[in-house]
Chain A
Amino acid sequence: GAVVSQHPSWVICKSGTSVKIECRSLDFQATTMFWYRQFPKQSLMLMATSNEGSKATYEQGVEKDKFLINHASLTLSTLTVTSAHPEDSSFYICSASQGQDYGYTFGSGTRLTVV
């Protein structure tokens, strides 16, 4: 089945630094990937749609300069949290789909802690 690999699974960084999270589709090509954010005991909130070869589409209220998304190939999307602050601490998850009639495959998530 389709596999999406997300790395790292957890990261601790200092305030003011930047963190890059990678999302790879291992056995299929994904022209579109999605990035979500999840706070403890809450649902997933869609942050942005990552489009291969073009700019990401951000959801309302998500700062595009803070959450930089790059989708340089059909198998890799990256999310960079720039100038991280403690309030950016969260669980970030990516997903990709092989088509609209299929379910989405999710990465295992990245737990970011900013200290």
Chain B
Amino acid sequence: SQQGEEDPQALSIQEGENATMNCSYKTSINNLQWYRQNSGRGLVHLILIRSNEREKHSGRLRVTLDTSKKSSSLLITASRAADTASYFCALGGATNKLIFGTGTLLAVQP
């Protein structure tokens, strides 16, 4: 499958803790993107990291990319209850298509 595999499938943490989710893939990519989806809603783009980049930050988000291991991680620091959502990695290739990973369901307990 060309789909990205995310782990864990589900993660439950307390407010203030950090949340880390991982994405592994098998194909070659131009970029890797992370999205957030609240239940039953559309997706919100969080961050894009290009294949020649290793790390990127945006506010409380930190994304790493290791193309040799074909893996990426998303770290959310100082989590809040409002961060509760599903998080998806998405693989951007040469064809302009975006292929989504399996997703991580994050629950942040207040």
Q: Are B31 and A100 in contact (CB under 8 A)?
A: yes
Contact with B along A28-43 (1 / 0, CB 8 A): 0000101010000111
Q: Is the CB of B88 within 8 A of A103?
A: no
**Known contacts A43-B3, A43-B103, A100-B30; A108/B42 CB under 8 A:** yes
Residues in A with CB closer than 8 Å to B102 are: 43
One digit per residue, 1 when the CB lies within 8 angstroms of any chain A CB and 0 when it does not, for chain B 1-43 equals 0010000000000000000000000000011010100001111
Closest to B44 in A: A106
Chain B count of residues within 8 A CB distance of the other chain: 27
Residue pairs across A and B with CB atoms within 8 Å: the count is 61
Chain A 42-81 interface 0/1 with B at a Cβ cutoff of 8 Å (1 = within): 1111100100000000000000000000000000000000
Collect the chain B residues with CB atoms within 8 Å of residue A97's CB.
96, 98
What chain A residues lie within 8 Å of B105 (beta carbons)?
Answer: 41
* B42 and A93 within 8 A (CB): yes
Verify B48–A46 contact, CB threshold 8 A: no
Which residue, A97, A103, A104, A105, has most C-beta atoms of chain B within 10 A? A103
Cβ of B60 within 8 Å of any chain A Cβ, yes or no, is no
A102 close to B100 (CB less than 8 A): no
Chain B residues within 8 Å of A108, by CB: 41-42
Once bound together, how far apart are the Cα atoms of A105 and B97, in whole Å? 13
Q: Is the CB of A91 within 8 A of B88?
A: no
Distance of A25 Cα from B41 Cα, bound (Å): 18
Task: Check if B75 is an interface residue, CB within 8 A of chain A.
Answer: no
**Distance between Cα atoms of A103 and B44 in the complex (Å):** 9
Contact residues in A for B54 (Cβ distance below 8 Å): none
Say whether A46 contacts B99, CB under 8 Å: yes
B1 to chain A, nearest CB (A): 11
Q: Is the CB of B88 within 8 A of A105?
A: no
Query: Residue on A with the closest CB to B45?
Result: A103
Interface residues of chain A, those whose CB is within 8 Å of chain B, are: 6, 32, 34, 36, 41-46, 49, 91, 93, 95, 97, 100-109, 111
